Amino acid sequence: MVHLRIVLPAHRSQQVLDVLEATPSTCNLVLLAGAARKPPGDVILCDVAREDASVVVHDLKELDVPRDGSISLEQIDSQLSDAAERAERAAPGAPSDAVVWEEVEARTSESIELSGNFLLFMVLASLLASVGIYTGSAILIIGAMVVGPEFGPLAGFCVAAVERRRDVALRSLAALAIGFPVAITAAFLFTLGCEATGLIDGDFSNEQRPLTQFISDPTTFSFIVAVFAGVAGVLSLTSTKSGALVGVLISVTTILAAANVGIAAALGHWSEWRGAMAQLALNVTAIVLAGVATLYIQRTLYNRRRRNHVTERGRPAAAQRP
C-alpha cells in the first residue's frame, strides 16, 4: 500500500473526497478539516493499493491539487487491515510489479544531479578501478563497479526519453558528459604518477592481467550482458526490489572502461585505448537501449491501466476541474 497525504484549500476538499471514495482501491480515508496552516486548508489522508497509486495521483493532478496544495507519497511497509486487503484485491496485478511513476521520477531526479559528490564518486571509482587493473584484483574491480554512480544518469536519461522530459534528459547527459571525462582524467593523471614513482612499469599491459583483459576487449557477450543489466537496473528502479541494483552495477564495465581509457592513454597503449573506448560506448548504448525499451513497455501497460480506470465510478468527478 501507498499512503497519500494531500493538502489543499478547504473549498476543494469535497471534490477530492468524492474521487477517493469512489475509487475501490483506496481505504482509510481521513479528512482533517482546517489542519493545514501553510498553505492554509484541509489535510486528506488516504491509503491506496500500490498498483493504482499513479492512476489515483493522476486524478488528483487533473484536479490541479499540486497548483495550490501538495500530494505526498509514502510506502507502507506493514499494515494490518481488512479494508486494505479489500483495496488491494480491487486493484488487479501484483504490488511488486506495480510502477509508481512519481516515485521513479523522484529517484531519478536525485541521482542525475551534477554535483560535487557525484564527480567525487566518479573519481574515486575510477581510481579504485585503476588500482584493480594494475594489480588484477577482482575485489577492487567489483568495489569500483559498486562505487561508480554512473547508472543514475543513465537511468535518468531512459526515464526522460520515455516520458519526453527534455529537462531531465539534458541534466542526465550533462552528468555523463562531464562525469566520464573527469573519471578518465583522474585515471590518466594517477597512472602518470604511478609510472613516475615506479609503482607500475611503462610496459604494463592488460594482456599481462587475464582478469582485466576483457575491459579493453569488447565482444558480443559484452553487449548482451549490458542489455541484461539495463533491463535489470530499470526493473530495480521501478519496483520494490531495489537491492537488485547492486548486482546491476557489478555486471557492467562502464567505470572500468573509463578508467582503462585513462590508463591506456597515459601509457601510450593505443590499441587498448581504442578497445576501452569501444567497451565504454558499447555498454552505455546497450544500457540505454534496454532501459528505454523496458520503461516503454511498463509505460504502455500503465497507460492501458489508466484507460481502464477512466471507466470507473470516480473518474467522471475527477474530470471536472474546479
Of the pLDDT bands very low, low, confident and very high (cuts 50, 70, 90), residue 191 is very high
Evaluate whether 39 touches 69 at the Cβ level (below 8 Å): yes
Is residue 75's pLDDT more than 60? Answer: yes
CA 52 to chain centre: 20
What would the grid cell of residue 225 be?
A: 550482458
The confidence score (pLDDT) of residue 247 equals: 63
Name the least confident of 104-113, 243-252, 281-290, 301-310. Answer: 243-252
Q: CA 285, 258, 131: angle at the middle one, nearest 5? A: 145
Name the least confident of 67-71, 133-137, 210-214, 229-233. Answer: 210-214
Of the pLDDT bands very low, low, confident and very high (cuts 50, 70, 90), residue 30 is very high
Is residue 209's pLDDT more than 70? Answer: no
The confidence score (pLDDT) of residue 314 equals: 45
Q: What CA–CA distance (Å, rounded) separates 156 from 250? A: 19
The helix/strand/coil state of 252 is: coil
The helix/strand/coil state of 26 is: strand
pTM: 0.83
Q: What CA–CA distance (Å, rounded) separates 172 from 191? A: 28
> Minimal CA–CA distance to 283: which of 268, 261, 299?
261
Average pLDDT (218-239) is 88
* Cis ω for the linkage preceding 39 (within 30 of 0): yes
Q: What CA–CA distance (Å, rounded) separates 219 from 264? A: 19
Average pLDDT (49-77) is 91
Tell me the average pLDDT of the chain. 87
Q: What CA–CA distance (Å, rounded) separates 286 from 292? A: 10
Of the pLDDT bands very low, low, confident and very high (cuts 50, 70, 90), residue 322 is very low
pLDDT digits (tens, 9 = 90+) for 87-144: 988 888 777 778 888 888 887 877 788 899 999 999 999 999 999 988 888 889 888 9
Of the pLDDT bands very low, low, confident and very high (cuts 50, 70, 90), residue 249 is low
The confidence score (pLDDT) of residue 244 equals: 55
Strands (DSSP E) found in the chain:
2-8, 26-37, 40-48, 70-75
17-22-28-33 Cα dihedral, nearest 10 degrees: 10
Which residues on adjacent β-strands are paired with residue 45?
5, 30
